């Protein structure tokens, strides 16, 4: 059975059991401080499990794009080495939100596997939670055991410990006992030798877990205790690629039709052969796996970058490039060429790949290009580290520097060193790495106390689209501590006018006023599991009071102004540059806005002007806000709104229209475009290949911008003696400056010529060498010219010049090539040695080298020592 069919049969099976088929949530998670990537099918349903939101459909089925490369579930370093781990994978899942529980979950899973997919019953094993004697003191899952006993011989039921059979999403959150289903795909001969039961959960590549049925019934609190969830749920996750392996009768995920087309393409491009030698196999698997993770992330709007999720993506891509570079000898970008076959194999199930193919190819190619350059530079740097090494062991800190500053991978460093007969001081490297980790960990570590709940079962309401001030009550609060922010309180209210950070827009600030007039400032507002959380430095004295919650109006207005301008900018770009322009990122602050979009060349000055004029015309047109809340998605799309890739939309959406600009948006906006006053683009540039970024300002920020510019202009005029035409005055100053520069250059040349004559006369004969060591008054470039001029016709000249420029010292050593060879002299080594007198260092070639240092006082001594080299 083809993988496409396996996927659709899974979905159909549960659809027939009245489940609603929903689409995969984005793999890259935005607006959730607790998670960067979807790492399990249940992430998008977290709020239903916790009871924060009620699910509209209590039975759901889907295939979810997952990425396990950070946090609690991280498989990155395994990938490629075995045949069944992946960074990105699909998790097939059926869900019950307070609906059916263990009985149906178990019997349907069995029915699907054995009746629909016709997997041989005797090759299946199931596990049941054995209970735990630790502080949780959990009982064995008798209910699951009894249910399994009805359908499978007891010899195929195994007990599992907490690690394998109690599923927890993270340190906190929903959790519960689980039953895993494992399949043994070994040959009959192998099976006769060792029973599959002995190999379950033993990392055997042919006895693998394919499905995990989790019975969610607890919530793990911050203090480590378990509490019962308000209702019981089912969360199942089946590894799609493993299921395909079983169904297609192959021994490795990489031999299924999910991967083989990609592997064939890698073989074609690189001339490598899969299944020939283990290093090549690992490299090919790494590349085949990683291109999927990277392509899907870019399709979700996450570009490789230097921070956060973007950095994780960059590291994955670089890991693949490096395996190619080292084991497949790929010295040119090649991974971008795999996007085509990936799109052909998965584009039907995931149309985002098809639609964004060109962009994905461009971004991957550009990344490959720049990393290959880094690798080249790294090789040169590593060369110089090796050349200047005083022993056969290379300092781990130096290797760390290469890794940290230049992104040069450590395993490559180790490999090259061993090829050259050196070893790496791994302890030094690990220590440097650990120090850095400690530094960044302690800066980002956050500890959270448990919620103190004041109002049970209170539903939260956001009223901030309509009012900026309202009376509220505290539902719950908790203390959080981090190095960066210190101690803070998180507050949840029954009703709130505060907008939580989201959709690129910053969270509101403001204050709470108690009945006695006490004030607590709200520093930021964010969303977590669909709850609006307010951050405050202090807790109000009387937490059960009724408070007046007031949003900072000024900041809100400025932010709204930038948000509306962002919509107009989006419209303008599609109008001026073309409809290929798509939003790729947006940040709306009170002081500025930033908009990333797809476009393949620089936006010209004329186009930028046109865009600005377009937006300003709509601001002057005083277009009113037309807002529709809670309308069905289809209605919004029919009205002309565009859904963005990588964005998660609910069943109903909010539509924002200003004239012809129509967007799906949860942000806050001005009532009328006239409120924006004016729009000004401040910069345009590239973020990645095919992605441009515009930064712009509106309203008060534009006024400040013009006022500042005006002030600078006034200052310039004043400096130019109040010239009527300052531009003309500056141009004439530049012309004069150029003329003077040329004159000085000529004077210096003349001076050097004279100097050369004088110095040739000063040469001494020392042991048949024409020798001179002297301090001169020239800059380094002048000294270099002087040396080569003086030595032009000589074969036995040795010169050392010292000079002082801007308080710094330089030494330049010149040795005729013939002399250097005959006497085995090396100018580079000489200046390195003499450099210590001027407290510096340097290097160069055997016939010419320079050193720089911070102690001009040492020049005389260095010059004195020079003669020793030829005596
Ligand atoms: N949450 C479980 C897992 O990720 C089942 O979906 O394995």
Q: Consecutive 10-residue runs of the chain (871 residues): their mean pLDDT?
A: 96 97 91 81 88 89 91 76 92 97 97 97 97 95 97 96 90 91 96 95 92 95 88 96 96 96 97 94 97 96 86 91 92 96 94 92 93 86 85 89 81 82 90 84 77 87 96 95 90 97 95 95 92 95 95 97 98 94 93 94 95 98 96 92 81 93 96 97 90 96 95 92 89 96 89 88 94 93 91 94 94 96 93 94 91 95 94 84
Query: What pTM, to 2 d.p., does this model score?
Result: 0.73
Q: How far is the CA of 843 from the centre of ligand 1 (A)?
A: 59
3-state secondary structure (DSSP) of residue 868: helix
- Asked if residue 30 and residue 83 are part of one domain, the reply reads yes
Q: How far is the CA of 168 from the centre of ligand 1 (A)?
A: 9
- Asked if residue 168 and residue 79 are part of one domain, the reply reads yes
Query: Distance between CA atoms of 424 and 399, rounded to whole angstroms?
Result: 8
- Asked if residue 455 and residue 423 are part of one domain, the reply reads no
Q: What is the pLDDT of residue 6?
A: 97
**Helix (H), strand (E) at residue 258:** none
Q: Is there a domain that residue 93 lies in?
A: yes
Which ligand 1 atom minimizes the distance to the CA of 41?
A: 6
Q: Output Rg (C-alpha) for the chain, integer angstroms.
A: 34
- Asked if residue 698 and residue 623 are part of one domain, the reply reads yes
Is the shortest distance between the CB of 167 and ligand 1 below 6 Å? Answer: yes
HSE-up of 599 (CA within 13 Å, CB side)?
24
* Residue whose CA lies nearest to ligand 1 atom number 6: 237
How many C-beta atoms lie closer than 10 Å to residue 694's C-beta? 22
Q: How far is the CA of 91 from the centre of ligand 1 (A)?
A: 8
Query: Distance between CA atoms of 517 and 522, rounded to whole angstroms?
Result: 15
Q: Is there a domain that residue 731 lies in?
A: no
Q: Is there a domain that residue 681 lies in?
A: yes
Q: Is there a domain that residue 80 lies in?
A: yes
Q: Work out whether strand 797-805 and strand 769-775 pair parallel, antiparallel, or are unpaired.
A: parallel
Q: Is there a domain that residue 715 lies in?
A: no
Chain-centre distance for alpha carbon 641 = 29
- Asked if residue 532 and residue 407 are part of one domain, the reply reads no
Residue among 134, 125, 123, 231 nearest 176 (CA): 231
Q: What is the pLDDT of residue 682?
A: 97
- Asked if residue 400 and residue 276 are part of one domain, the reply reads no
- Asked if residue 216 and residue 145 are part of one domain, the reply reads yes
Is the shortest distance between the CB of 237 and ligand 1 below 6 Å? Answer: yes
Residue among 10, 77, 81, 22 nearest 243 (CA): 10
Could you tell me the CATH number of the domain that includes residue 461? 2.40.30.130
Which ligand 1 atom minimizes the distance to the CA of 73?
A: 4
The CA-CA-CA angle for residues 305, 308, 314, to 5°, reads: 40
Is residue 175 within 8 Å of 216, Cβ to Cβ?
Answer: yes
Q: How far is the CA of 67 from the centre of ligand 1 (A)?
A: 13
Q: What string of DSSP letters covers 268-287? A: HHH---TTS-HHHHHHHHHH
How many C-beta atoms lie closer than 10 Å to residue 497's C-beta? 22
Chain-centre distance for alpha carbon 350 = 22
- Asked if residue 573 and residue 656 are part of one domain, the reply reads yes
Q: What is the pLDDT of residue 655?
A: 96
**Tally of domains within the chain:** 6
Is the shortest distance between the CB of 41 and ligand 1 below 6 Å? Answer: yes
Q: Is there a domain that residue 160 lies in?
A: yes
- Of the candidates 331, 347, 374, which is a domain's last residue? 374
Query: Distance between CA atoms of 89 and 64, rounded to whole angstroms?
Result: 8
User: Alpha carbon of 94 to those of 2, 25, 461, 581: distances in Å?
Assistant: 21, 14, 30, 37
Could you tell me the CATH number of the domain that includes residue 107? 3.30.930.10
Q: What is the pLDDT of residue 560?
A: 98
- Of the candidates 258, 273, 299, which is a domain's last residue? 258
Chain-centre distance for alpha carbon 461 = 33
- Asked if residue 686 and residue 607 are part of one domain, the reply reads yes
- Asked if residue 157 and residue 12 are part of one domain, the reply reads yes
Q: Is there a domain that residue 729 lies in?
A: no
Q: How far is the CA of 170 from the centre of ligand 1 (A)?
A: 12
Residue among 41, 37, 47 nearest 60 (CA): 41
How many C-beta atoms lie closer than 10 Å to residue 109's C-beta? 22
- Asked if residue 652 and residue 758 are part of one domain, the reply reads no
Q: What is the pLDDT of residue 600?
A: 83
Q: What string of DSSP letters covers 444-507? A: H-EEEPPPEESSTTPPPEE-TTT-SEEEEEEEEEEEEEETTTEEEEEEEESEE-PPPSBTTBPP
Q: What is the pLDDT of residue 616?
A: 98
Q: Is there a domain that residue 719 lies in?
A: no
In total, the chain counts a number of residues equal to: 871
3-state secondary structure (DSSP) of residue 102: helix
Is residue 534 within 8 Å of 491, Cβ to Cβ?
Answer: yes
- Residues making up the binding site for Zn(2+): 563, 567, 665, 669
Is residue 350 within 8 Å of 316, Cβ to Cβ?
Answer: no
Q: Which range marks the domain in which residue 360 is found?
A: 259-374
Is the shortest distance between the CB of 417 and ligand 1 below 6 Å? Answer: no
- Asked if residue 38 and residue 60 are part of one domain, the reply reads yes
Which ligand 1 atom minimizes the distance to the CA of 212?
A: 5
Q: What are phi and psi of 609, to 5 degrees?
A: -60, -40
């Amino acid at each position: 059975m083809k993988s496409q069919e396996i996927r659709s049969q899974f979905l159909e099976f549960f659809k027939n059991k009245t489940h609603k088929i929903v689409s995969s949530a984005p793999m890259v998670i935005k607006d959730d401080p607790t998670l960067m990537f979807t790492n399990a099918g249940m992430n998008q349903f977290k709020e239903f499990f916790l009871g924060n939101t009620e699910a509209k459909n209590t039975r759901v089925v889907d295939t979810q794009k997952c990425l396990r490369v950070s946090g609690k579930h991280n498989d990155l370093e395994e990938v490629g080495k075995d045949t069944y781990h992946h960074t990105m994978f699909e998790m097939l899942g059926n869900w019950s939100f307070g609906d059916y529980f263990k009985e149906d979950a178990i019997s349907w899973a069995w029915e699907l596997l054995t009746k629909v997919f016709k997997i041989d019953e005797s090759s299946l094993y199931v596990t049941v939670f054995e209970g735990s004697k630790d502080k949780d003191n959990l009982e064995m899952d008798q209910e699951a055991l009894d249910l399994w006993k009805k359908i499978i011989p007891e010899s195929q039921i195994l007990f599992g410990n907490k690690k394998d059979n109690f599923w927890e999403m993270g340190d906190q959150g929903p959790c519960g006992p689980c039953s895993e289903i494992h399949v043994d795909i070994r040959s009959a001969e192998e099976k006769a030798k060792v029973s599959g039961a002995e190999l379950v959960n033993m990392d055997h590549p042919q006895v693998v877990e394919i499905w995990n049925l989790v019975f969610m019934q607890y919530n793990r609190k911050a203090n480590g205790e378990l509490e019962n969830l308000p209702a019981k749920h089912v969360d199942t996750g089946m590894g799609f690629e493993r299921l395909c392996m079983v169904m297609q009768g192959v021994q490795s995920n990489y031999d299924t039709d999910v991967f083989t087309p990609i592997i064939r393409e890698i073989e074609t491009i690189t001339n490598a052969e899969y299944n020939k030698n283990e290093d090549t196999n690992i490299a090919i698997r790494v590349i085949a796996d990683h291109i999927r993770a990277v392509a899907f992330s870019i399709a979700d709007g996450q570009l490789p970058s230097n921070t956060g999720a973007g950095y994780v993506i960059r590291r994955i891509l670089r890991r693949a490039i490096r395996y190619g570079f080292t084991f497949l000898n790929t010295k040119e970008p090649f991974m971008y060429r795999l996007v085509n076959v990936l799109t052909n194999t998965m584009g039907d199930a995931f149309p985002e790949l098809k639609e964004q193919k060109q962009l994905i190819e461009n971004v991957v190619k550009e990344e490959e290009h720049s990393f290959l350059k880094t690798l080249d530079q790294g090789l040169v740097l590593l060369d110089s580290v090796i050349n200047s090494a005083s022993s056969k062991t290379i300092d781990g800190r130096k290797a760390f520097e290469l890794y940290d500053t230049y992104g040069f991978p450590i395993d490559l460093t180790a490999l090259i060193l061993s090829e050259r007969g050196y070893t790496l001081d791994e302890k030094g490297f690990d220590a440097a790495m650990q120090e850095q980790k400690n530094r960044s960990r302690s800066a980002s570590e956050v500890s959270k106390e448990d919620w103190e709940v004041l109002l049970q079962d209170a539903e939260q309401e956001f009223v901030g689209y309509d009012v900026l001030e309202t009376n509220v009550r505290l539902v719950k609060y908790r203390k959080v501590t981090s190095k960066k922010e210190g101690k803070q309180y998180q507050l949840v209210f029954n009703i709130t006018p505060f907008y939580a950070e989201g959709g690129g827009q910053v969270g509101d600030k403001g204050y709470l006023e108690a009945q006695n007039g006490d004030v607590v400032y709200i520093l930021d507002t964010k969303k977590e599991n669909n709850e609006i959380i307010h951050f405050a430095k202090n807790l109000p004295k009387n937490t059960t009071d009724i408070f007046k919650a007031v949003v900072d109006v000024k900041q809100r207005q400025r932010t709204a102004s930038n948000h509306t301008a962002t919509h107009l900018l989006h419209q303008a770009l599609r109008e001026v540059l073309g409809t290929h322009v798509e939003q790729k990122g947006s940040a709306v602050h009170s002081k500025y806005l930033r908009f990333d979009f797809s476009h393949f060349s620089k936006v010209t000055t004329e186009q930028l002007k046109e865009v600005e004029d377009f937006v300003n015309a709509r601001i002057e047109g005083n277009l009113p806000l037309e807002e529709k809340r809670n309308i069905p998605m289809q209605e919004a799309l029919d009205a002309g709104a565009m859904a963005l890739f990588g964005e998660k939309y609910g069943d109903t959406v909010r539509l924002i229209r200003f004239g012809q600009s129509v967007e799906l948006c949860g942000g806050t906006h001005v009532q009328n475009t006239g409120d924006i006053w004016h729009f000004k683009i401040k910069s345009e540039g590239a973020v990645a290949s095919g992605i441009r970024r515009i930064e712009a300002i509106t309203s008060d920020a534009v006024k400040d911008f013009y006022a500042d510019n005006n002030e600078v202009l006034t200052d310039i005029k004043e400096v130019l003696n109040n010239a009527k035409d300052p531009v003309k005055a500056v141009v004439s100053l530049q012309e004069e400056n150029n003329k003077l520069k040329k004159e000085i250059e000529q004077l210096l040349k003349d001076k050097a010529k004279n100097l050369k004559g004088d110095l040739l006369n000063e040469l001494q004969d020392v042991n048949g060498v024409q020798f001179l060591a002297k301090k001169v008054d020239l800059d380094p470039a002048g000294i270099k010219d002087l040396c080569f001029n003086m030595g032009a016709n000589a074969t036995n000249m040795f010169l050392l010049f010292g000079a002082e420029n801007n308080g710094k010292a330089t030494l330049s050593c010149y040795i005729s090539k013939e002399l250097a060879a005959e006497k085995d002299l090396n100018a580079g080594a000489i200046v390195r040695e003499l450099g210590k007198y001027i407290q510096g260092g340097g290097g160069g070639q055997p016939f010419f080298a320079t050193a720089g240092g911070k102690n001009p006082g040492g020049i005389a001594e260095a010059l004195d020592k020079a003669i020793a080299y030829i005596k």
